[in-house]
Structure 1
Amino acid sequence: MKRRYQVAVHTPLISVSLISTFLVPDAAIIAALPKNPDKTVNCEILVVGGGLSGVATAYEGLLAGRRVCLTEITDWLGGQISSQGTSALDERPTQRSLQFYSRGYLELRDRIRRKYGKLNPGDCWVSEACFLPRDAHNILAQMLKDAEKRGKGKLEWFPNTVIKDLEISADGRIINSAIAIQSQPAKGAPSINTFPLSRTIEDAYSYQNSSFFNKSIIRLVPKQVKSNAPQWYVVDTSETGEIIALADVPYRLGIDGRSYLEPSASSPTNDPYCPQGFTYTFAMEATKQPQPQTMPPFYSQYSPYFSYELSRLANFDLVFTYRRIWSPSKGKLEKFGGVSFSSPTPGDISMQNWTWGNDYRPGTAQDNLLYTRQQLQATGQLKPGGWMGGLRTETLRKAEENALSFYYWLVAGTTDSQLGEGVKQPQPNNRLLTGINSPMGTVHGLSKYPYMREARRIIGRPSWGQPEGFGIWEIDISRRDYNDQYYRQTLPADMYRRLRAALAGLEAVSVIEGKVSPDQAMRRTRSTVFPDAVGIGHYAIDFHPCMVESPPETPGNKERPGERRGAGQAYPFQIALRAMIPQKIDNLLVGGKSIATSHIAAAAYRVHSFEWSAGAAAGTVAAFSLKNAVAPYQLVNNLPKPEPRLQALKRLLEQNGNPTAFPDTSIFNQNWQDWK
């Protein structure tokens, strides 16, 4: 029996989707399947990745009454705050004091508070909200269930599921269907969370059953409803930009070359092998008595890397309480390095996420985690049936070993790679929390998935002012004034003039025309105001740089020189719709860390509330586009000319409690210095 599939036909101005008569899907994809799909599921919005951005996309789609399919490689919703273990909300004081967040993020915070009776049951000092990852998953699952009921939508939730293949129309502009693989434990096999990701990821992307997993093949398709616009939307909210890589749309990875838009770049040219480091988190519990500690067999390989990093941080209690996620009793008040905190007491649980600890920071073509396009081609992952997740499995394995070694260093180590001898002392009154019922929900004790700080980032479509593709850059958000000798000496004269003109705000034209000297132009004190803003965020530009040598744990290894130059404070910033629309494919949207940002801007556009805001925007845009039979790119095609449909979308976001701008946002407002 032949199935019905869509063929996309396009005019220069609009995308017209027509139902063809009894066409079979892409033959190469079908040939790669070992059997017919076990089931076919209809979706209006397919969300790939169940992190915070994916949950937010689903949340808004359900409230809009849409049928949402949500896939996730792990069995937990929440990404950063659950399966990745970083359950400490990164927030800025002013935004937090005003409670100026998306409605779903506010609901999440409120549910955390109601769960524990307070927002910070861990009494951590890095955040005002530190909590247990498992509880985050349960809270988000209930939020989606309630949104489904309130909005009369329908959620199809696929845990332990990966996207294996896409069927894309002959002209390359519409994703017609997706093939997913869902895994469950094989008969007699242990729990799916028994082994670390490096042991199971290649199996998860294989169609064949194994000794670990039984697989179900699922075809995800749109409803077959005739329309003059895309029938469904696929939203890539994965942690690494999986779908943009699999669909082979243009994207960036790692360092962007130095330019007037990215003046603090550590390299004059692009370097795709140096994204920010990633981290396998783990939870450890303070105990009353010393615990037996077993040295991992690979410890000596990684121990030369570990350090408290700075003298003001060289205190075990300070590090333990930094991201303490559970504290049943209050310890005595301590102070170290200018930071006040309550000392650990037996039963306290700390989540570890430390730069010179369980961060793993590869930076070369020999060990990079996220394969480049060239590496994907070389490994056959862009061929039909060849996709295996786009990650280097060996680097995952070494990051897992590094994290377990860091735990042992914390409790038994006596060396410090940055501060020398005599600084680190053993702390045996602690234990690593392992088991299915542990905070990380794994037998091995590490997070189910590593915390990813940077992903593949799309290059948006050509736009006015950015003919090579839209992006959000360092100078769009940074508070730096760039009026120092480094930039004068490092940047060519013409590049420096363009930099100062871009920062001059209302005086930009005068600087370009030479009527005002670059050094005399007033530096604007705000972020770039985007006419197509659909979300907001605020956080510092925070770096965890890659290392120079391979492997990262090489004794004496150094961070990539200049990588931290771009770090510093940022103004409150916006999420432009153009940053969420990839080139080539009309029914693909991007949320989370894969929107069109630069390497430096991405260091701020990666935290919890931003991810939620980007997801809320994606879910709203998808539902709006379906309702109004308009493709998202058509909402921004005529910018900077007024676009009534774009304004209707922005009004809908605001009415729904999803801000698109901070209070008093205007090109005339120069009072952003007050935002902390």
Structure 2
Amino acid sequence: MEVLRTDVAIIGGGLGACAAALGAARAGYRVVLTEETHWIGGQLTNQAVPPDEHPWIEDFGATASYRALRNGIRGYYRAHLPLTPVARAEKHLNPGNGWVSRLCHDPRIAVAVLHQMIAPYQLSGKMFVMHPHRPIAAWTHGDRVTGVVVRGLESGRDTLIEASFFIDATPQGELLDLAGVEHVVGAESRADTGEPHAAETADPKDQQAITVCFAMEYLPGEDHTIDKPRQYELWRDYRPPNWPGSLLGWTTSRPETHEPLTRYLFEAEDGRPWWHFRRILDVSNFEQGFAASDISVVNWPQNDYWFGPVCGVDEVEQARNLEAARQLSLSLLYWLQTEAPRPDGGVGYRGLHLRRDVVGGTVDGLAPAPYIRESRRIRAEFTVLEQHIAHPLRPDGPEFFADSVGIGCYRIDLHPRTSGARYLDLGCWPFQIPLGSLLPVRAENLLPGGKNLGVTQITNGAYRVHHVEWNVGEAAGLLAAFCLERKVLPRSVRSRKTLLDDFQSLLRKQGIPLSWPSLSPL
């Protein structure tokens, strides 16, 4: 077995992983980063989800390196694509003009920009990226992780990675499980957390919906109907409990109120049709003839899969639910092409064309990885609860964390769960990321690099989005570097004021804001 030795090993290649790798490498330390798919970037790239952000993102509320990523994406469009003069002059260019985000863009552009950001460290030998590789085992000694074995999915060869620090940046917190790090999965009980919206009883299998996204264009007059998915009839005829109609239908549930909401593909009662929701290419932004159609990513309520868990279950159950989630997305596309009622009285849009190239040319045309909203979460020295950040519980403002390592903002947004629980959508204050939420209660040299920090299922609904995951990963990478330099443990940084002051000073110098100005809740 090949053995790699490094300073910081980052297992998983999501957004937090990229930020962690950049942070540690900027500090001068050697980094190995592994990723299970062919694309680094996680939810932004291989899961095909344009960034979910807060209203102030263009001016403040993100780290300098996350802002560099966003600027790099816009810069790539300006440098390499035939934008119209109006679009090119737009300071806050939104390539797709999708209404869910101020930066709806093609995932391939994000992949290119992320590789531009890490390339200097790869060329200098500070960073080594391994993909497609997935973790299969972890070696531990007492409270330390000593090594992680990753397997090449194409070569079949195993590699042992030894490091001083490990960061788990996998979509589901796989390393926490492999290394025996204390963690929570699924729903906590109200008795455990005191959160008003927590479940009555804890249930590790009660998890948020996952979504297998896909990209499509529309070419009227053409027929791009896919083969009928083998589970099509099952999903076409399914009427979920507490849902306003068939799952494959135009009427869904409004997250804030659970009232019925009807949106068609190109028309909607609220003026926001699904086509514009996560549109990543708006032809009006480009010179005439550049593209035959807009391109829109489908990450809708209709292909949210909440009918079985994928995290913390055996391989057979996980594989069954992942396949069913892919079948649901293919069934939604087939329904859109063949049976979806049109406002003009017709049915189906056969000109919808699955753009498999947008997601890397997968066999079925769907995103290489499912959008995972909820991970295993460390049992942390400090866990962020609903009562720390939810506006309804804190009319005067959020909890202030003196050990802040960053900031974020998003509504507490939970999608339907496997228990049958419906949407939970709560107002939330702009919040901080406490250092205590990055520290496992026992493990000394493993840090979370994404959604697996010390939050609950409820507060995960606010901490799971792109800019927060990036900040968590960047703080973890810089924390590992700081501890290597000072020869201290991460928990000492929190418990010793002089160390905490020095670490927070480092974060500020790296362009990581630790507190918000006075803002209204979101």
| Structure 2: gaps (5+ residues) | 79-87, 239-246, 254-259, 267-272
Task: Give the TM-score normalised by the residue count of structure 1.
Answer: 0.68
Is the CA contact (8 Å cut-off) linking 1:370 and 1:391 kept in structure 2?
Answer: no
Q: What is the aligned partner in structure 2 of residue 325 from structure 1?
A: 280
Shift of 1:476: 0.9
Is the CA contact (8 Å cut-off) linking 1:314 and 1:423 kept in structure 2?
Answer: no
Q: What is the aligned partner in structure 2 of residue 653 from structure 1?
A: 507
Q: What is the aligned partner in structure 2 of residue 206 from structure 1?
A: none
Q: What is the aligned partner in structure 2 of residue 361 from structure 1?
A: 306
- Equivalent positions of 1:276-675 (< 5 A) are 276-293=208-225, 294-303=227-236, 304=238, 305-308=247-250, 309-310=252-253, 312-317=261-266, 318-329=273-284, 346-355=292-301, 357-362=302-307, 367-371=308-312, 392-414=318-340, 425-434=347-356, 437-461=357-381, 470-481=382-393, 503=394, 523=395, 525-548=396-419, 559-560=420-421, 563-564=422-423, 566-637=424-495, 643-663=497-517, 671-673=518-520
Shift of 1:298: 1.9
Shift of 1:129: 0.5
SS at match of 2:176: helix
SS at match of 1:329: helix
Shift of 1:302: 1.1
Is the CA contact (8 Å cut-off) linking 1:134 and 1:441 kept in structure 2?
Answer: no
Q: What is the aligned partner in structure 2 of residue 178 from structure 1?
A: 148
Is the CA contact (8 Å cut-off) linking 2:122 and 2:128 kept in structure 1?
Answer: no
Shift of 1:162: 0.9
Root-mean-square deviation (CA), in Å? 2.4
Is the CA contact (8 Å cut-off) linking 1:239 and 1:452 kept in structure 2?
Answer: yes
The superposition leaves residues 568-610 of structure 1 with CA deviations (integer Å, 9 ceiling, x where unpaired) of: 1210111111111112210111121000101110001011100
Q: What is the aligned partner in structure 2 of residue 73 from structure 1?
A: 36
Pair 218,430 (structure 1): closer, same or farther in 2 beyond 3 Å: same
Pair 301,424 (structure 1): closer, same or farther in 2 beyond 3 Å: farther
Pair 584,261 (structure 1): closer, same or farther in 2 beyond 3 Å: closer
Is the CA contact (8 Å cut-off) linking 1:323 and 1:351 kept in structure 2?
Answer: yes
The superposition leaves residues 524-565 of structure 1 with CA deviations (integer Å, 9 ceiling, x where unpaired) of: x221111211111100111211144xxxxxxxxxx42xx54x
Is the CA contact (8 Å cut-off) linking 1:66 and 1:153 kept in structure 2?
Answer: no
SS at match of 1:44: strand
Is the CA contact (8 Å cut-off) linking 1:457 and 1:594 kept in structure 2?
Answer: yes
Structure 2 distance, partners of 1:248, 1:637, is 24
Is the CA contact (8 Å cut-off) linking 1:262 and 1:600 kept in structure 2?
Answer: no
Pair 221,174 (structure 1): closer, same or farther in 2 beyond 3 Å: same
The superposition leaves residues 234-262 of structure 1 with CA deviations (integer Å, 9 ceiling, x where unpaired) of: 00111101011111222111222115954
Structure 2 distance, partners of 1:125, 1:672, is 22
Task: Give the TM-score normalised by the residue count of structure 2.
Answer: 0.87
Q: What is the aligned partner in structure 2 of residue 235 from structure 1?
A: 167
Q: What is the aligned partner in structure 1 of residue 75 from structure 2?
A: 114
Is the CA contact (8 Å cut-off) linking 2:359 and 2:368 kept in structure 1?
Answer: no
Q: Residue 61 of structure 2 is aligned with which of 69, 76, 100?
A: 100
Structure 1 distance, partners of 2:95, 2:15, is 21
Is the CA contact (8 Å cut-off) linking 1:62 and 1:148 kept in structure 2?
Answer: no
Is the CA contact (8 Å cut-off) linking 1:61 and 1:153 kept in structure 2?
Answer: no
Q: What is the aligned partner in structure 1 of residue 107 from structure 2?
A: 133
The superposition leaves residues 58-102 of structure 1 with CA deviations (integer Å, 9 ceiling, x where unpaired) of: 01111111100000110101101110011x2111113x2423311
Q: What is the aligned partner in structure 1 of residue 242 from structure 2?
A: none
Q: What is the aligned partner in structure 2 of residue 510 from structure 1?
A: none
Shift of 1:346: 4.3
Shift of 1:452: 0.5
SS at match of 1:42: strand
Structure 1 distance, partners of 2:105, 2:519, is 31
Pair 394,298 (structure 1): closer, same or farther in 2 beyond 3 Å: same
Percent of aligned pairs with the same residue?
A: 30
SS at match of 1:592: coil
| Structure 1: gaps (5+ residues) | 1-36, 185-213, 223-231, 332-344, 380-387, 462-469, 482-502, 504-522, 549-558, 664-670
Structure 2 distance, partners of 1:252, 1:624, is 27
SS at match of 2:146: strand
Is the CA contact (8 Å cut-off) linking 1:253 and 1:273 kept in structure 2?
Answer: yes
Shift of 1:440: 4.0
Q: What is the aligned partner in structure 2 of residue 165 from structure 1?
A: 137
Q: What is the aligned partner in structure 2 of residue 248 from structure 1?
A: 180
Is the CA contact (8 Å cut-off) linking 2:224 and 2:351 kept in structure 1?
Answer: no
Structure 1 distance, partners of 2:121, 2:64, is 12
Q: Residue 275 of structure 1 is aligned with which of 207, 216, 229?
A: 207
Pair 110,602 (structure 1): closer, same or farther in 2 beyond 3 Å: same
Shift of 1:415: 7.0
Structure 1 distance, partners of 2:442, 2:198, is 30
Pair 424,240 (structure 1): closer, same or farther in 2 beyond 3 Å: farther
The superposition leaves residues 165-219 of structure 1 with CA deviations (integer Å, 9 ceiling, x where unpaired) of: 11111xx2111111111122xxxxxxxxxxxxxxxxxxxxxxxxxxxxx312111
Is the CA contact (8 Å cut-off) linking 2:447 and 2:476 kept in structure 1?
Answer: yes
Is the CA contact (8 Å cut-off) linking 1:64 and 1:623 kept in structure 2?
Answer: yes
Q: What is the aligned partner in structure 1 of residue 128 from structure 2?
A: 156
CA radius of gyration, larger in:
1
Shift of 1:265: 2.4
Q: Point out which structure has higher relative CO (alpha carbons under 8 A, 6+ apart).
A: 2
Amino acid at match of 2:466: H
Structure 2 distance, partners of 1:594, 1:391, is 22
Is the CA contact (8 Å cut-off) linking 1:257 and 1:270 kept in structure 2?
Answer: yes
Pair 346,361 (structure 1): closer, same or farther in 2 beyond 3 Å: same
Is the CA contact (8 Å cut-off) linking 2:210 and 2:372 kept in structure 1?
Answer: yes
Shift of 1:425: 4.1
Amino acid at match of 2:435: L
Is the CA contact (8 Å cut-off) linking 1:257 and 1:265 kept in structure 2?
Answer: no
The superposition leaves residues 253-295 of structure 1 with CA deviations (integer Å, 9 ceiling, x where unpaired) of: 1222115954332522212111110011001111132314232
Structure 2 distance, partners of 1:610, 1:138, is 21
Shift of 1:480: 0.9
Structure 2 distance, partners of 1:120, 1:622, is 35
Structure 2 distance, partners of 1:181, 1:543, is 33
- Equivalent positions of 1:25-36 (< 5 A) are none
Structure 1 distance, partners of 2:481, 2:116, is 21
Structure 2 distance, partners of 1:255, 1:262, is 13
